Amino acid sequence: MKILVCDDSVINRQIIGGYLHQMGHKAIYANNGKEAIELFMKNEPDLVLIDVEMPGMDGYEATRAIRESCNDFSQWTPIIFVSSYIDDQSIVKGIEAGADDYLTKPVSAAVLRAKIHAMRRLAAMRENLIDFGKQLRDVNEKLLNSNQLLSELSLKDPLTRLGNRRAFEETLSRDCRIAVRSGESVCLLMIDIDNFKIFNDTYGHQAGDYCLQQVAQVLKQGIHRATDFASRYGGEEFAILLADTPIEGGIHVAERLRVAVQALQIQNTHVPAGIVTISVGVACSKAGSEFASEALVAGADAALYEAKEAGRNCVRSEKKLIDEAFSKNLEAYKKSRRFAGTMPSSSSKH
**pLDDT by residue for the chain (350 residues), tens digit each?**
889 998 888 888 888 888 889 998 998 998 888 888 899 888 888 889 998 888 888 888 988 888 888 766 556 788 998 888 777 888 888 888 888 888 888 888 888 888 888 887 777 776 777 677 677 777 777 777 666 666 666 789 999 999 999 999 999 999 999 999 999 999 999 999 999 999 999 999 999 999 999 999 999 999 989 999 999 999 999 999 999 999 999 999 999 999 999 999 999 998 888 999 999 999 999 998 889 899 999 999 999 999 999 999 999 999 888 888 888 887 766 666 544 443 443 333 44
The structure's pTM equals 0.58
Cβ neighbour number for residue 71 with a 10 Å cutoff: 7
Q: Report the pLDDT value the prediction gives residue 277, as an integer from 0 to 100.
A: 97
Segments making up each domain of the chain, as ranges: 2-130, 165-336
The answer to whether 2-130 and 165-336 have equal CATH topology is no
* Residue of 38, 96, 236, 290 with catalytic role: 236
Question: Beta partners for 243?
Answer: 186
Q: Which helix (H) or strand (E) holds 280?
A: strand 278-284
Tell me which of 3.90.1310.10, 3.40.50.2300, 3.40.50.11540, 3.30.479.30 is the CATH number of domain 2-130.
Answer: 3.40.50.2300
Whether 236 is catalytic is yes
Helix (H, G, I), strand (E, B) or coil at 6: strand
CATH architecture of 165-336: 2-Layer Sandwich (3.30)
Residue-level pLDDT at 71: 65
Alpha-helical segments (H) within the chain: 10-22, 33-43, 59-69, 88-97, 109-154, 165-182, 196-203, 205-221, 247-262, 293-309, 324-328, 330-336
